[in-house]
Amino acid sequence: MVKKIIWAVVIVVVLLVAAYLVILRFAPRAIPTDTPVIGKLTCPYPVGIAGDSMAPALQAGTRLTFDRCSGGDKSNLSEGTIIAFEESGTVRISRVVEKTFNGENVIYKTAQDARPDTFIHVPASDIIAVYEK
């Protein structure tokens, strides 16, 4: 009887830890990482390209792994960097065209490859993850 209780407790603990790691890995927000082990589990952010907005560089169906941690500083990205950000509850992918400022806040002027003349202004604080080749 005691063995069954111990076994049940172990299973519950393992399931809780697994659920926690899944939530951390796929949560669409920046996650602070204090240890290298947690960073390896939570920093990768898999993204599937659903449409043609980033064509021809990224085709629909392409899967990329973005870095949610990226050194923690998203205010110093270079032109051409591909970013993931949330807009109206949807994760969007765009390429940095220019770095601008609104007072002390960094705002990136971005565009999708298939729509280079349509700009999206993304505050550095809204960036979820960065794709670095």
Q: What is the pLDDT of residue 35?
A: 45
Prediction pTM value? 0.67
Q: What is the pLDDT of residue 44?
A: 83
CATH number of the domain that residue 116 is part of? 2.10.109.10
What pLDDT, in 10s, does the model give residues 64-112?
A: 888 887 656 788 899 999 999 988 888 899 999 999 999 989 999 999 9
Burial bucket for residue 95 (CB in 10 Å: 0-12, 13-18, 19+): buried
Reported residue count of the chain is: 133
Which of 24-28, 43-47, 60-64, 129-133 is least confident? 24-28
Report how many domains make up the chain.
Answer: 1
DSSP E strands in 59-102: the ranges are: 63-67, 82-87, 90-102
Amino acid symbol at 73: D
Cβ atoms of residues 91 and 47 within 8 Å: yes
Q: How far apart are CA 93 and CA 6, in angstroms?
A: 46
Q: Which domain holds residue 15?
A: 2-131
- For residues 95 and 31, which has the higher predicted lDDT (pLDDT)? 95
